[in-house]
Amino acid sequence: MTPAQRFYGISSPGDVVRINPALITITDGLVAHRPVPVLQERVWQEVDDLLEHGVRTFHVDINFPDYGGFVHQRPDLNVSLFTPAFLERLNAFVRGRGAFLNLHLLTDCPRARFRDYVSVGAGAICFQLEMMDAQALEAVVEEIGATGAVASPVIETVGSTDRPAEPVSAVLAKLGPVLQRIDMLTLQAVGTGARSSWASLQAGESRLQEYAAWIRSNFQGTLQIQGGITTATVGAMVTLGADFLVCGTQIFRNPAGLPAHEVVAALLAEASRAR
């Protein structure tokens, strides 16, 4: 078992929740208006500061032009920003500080895109489960695992107008044959591309609870929940059994203008109370 597989695939001692800052929200709406090196430096500085304050995982959403599952308006296509070369350097930086990158490949072709980014050496790779049939799922889990990373299928609890969420029974049937080879499952609690500043957890709440209950009874790995995570909702997500919580807008664009590390501390305090 690799260090990344231990980190992402095994629950923390004492059931400590880990906040996984979503770096995409640092650059939301800026990709077309700022030079790429400027945005990359901004991401780097935020990561450096959070590392100084004990954060040990960073979530990188990569929005590819071929993905059609976003809700409402499509977020920035950011492949020019989060390139394999930049993420390889960023990964080396965070690994040198005892931390890991978690890539989320928002694409209709997860296997091909993973091969494009395999050089990054990320600790975990999230990909859209709705794009997989059983054979493709088995293949991508095998390829990701062979690199020493954790494969984490992302289960949509809400979906979008063009792609409604799959029935729970269909998702669980698809996962069944590979469940023992998956170390982390990710639940998308709101529509993909939604931000916690305007997203509501209500639309997928019943599915979220159903999946969480099933995972607690049938899955030996860790649970990651993303979408709509704020200081007001973190307690409910922890109660569902989350080990990792992906949060971006609340951290990097909070209305009070607080430093990111202070927001992470507040989220962890709420998580601890919920535990």
Could you please report the per-residue DSSP string of the chain? Answer: --HHHHHHHSPPGGG--EEEEBGGGGSTTTTTTS-HHHHHHHHHHHHHHHHHTT--EEEEEEE-TT-----SS-----TTTS-HHHHHHHHHHHHTTT-EEEEEEESS-HHHHHHHHGGG--SEEEEEGGG--HHHHHHHHHHHHHTTPEEEEEEESSB-SSSBPPPHHHHHHHHGGGGGG-SEEEEE-S-TT--TTT--SGGGHHHHHHHHHHHHHH--SEEEEESS--TTTHHHHHHTT-SEEEE-HHHHS-TT---HHHHHHHHHHHHHHH-
Q: Which residues have a Cβ under 8 Å from the Cβ of 171 and sit 6 or more positions away?
A: 129, 155, 211
Other CB atoms within 10 A of residue 36 CB: 15
Whole-model pTM? 0.94
The candidate with the shortest Cα–Cα distance to 123, out of 90, 156, 155, is 90
pLDDT tens profile 41-91: 999 999 999 999 999 999 999 999 998 877 666 788 999 999 999 999 999
Into how many domains does the chain fold? 1
Which residue type does 186 have?
T
User: Per the structure block, which two tokens stand in for 100?
Assistant: 């890991």
CATH number at residue 181: 3.20.20.70
The encoded tokens of residue 180 equal 């023992």
C-alpha neighbours within 13 Å on the C-beta side of residue 248: 21
Range of the structural domain that residue 38 is part of: 3-274
Q: Which residue in this structure is represented by tokens 């029935």?
A: 167
Q: Which residue ranges of the chain lie beneath pLDDT 70?
A: 13-16, 71-73, 193-204
Q: Are 183 and 152 in contact (CB under 8 A)?
A: yes
CB 200 within 8 A of CB 217: no
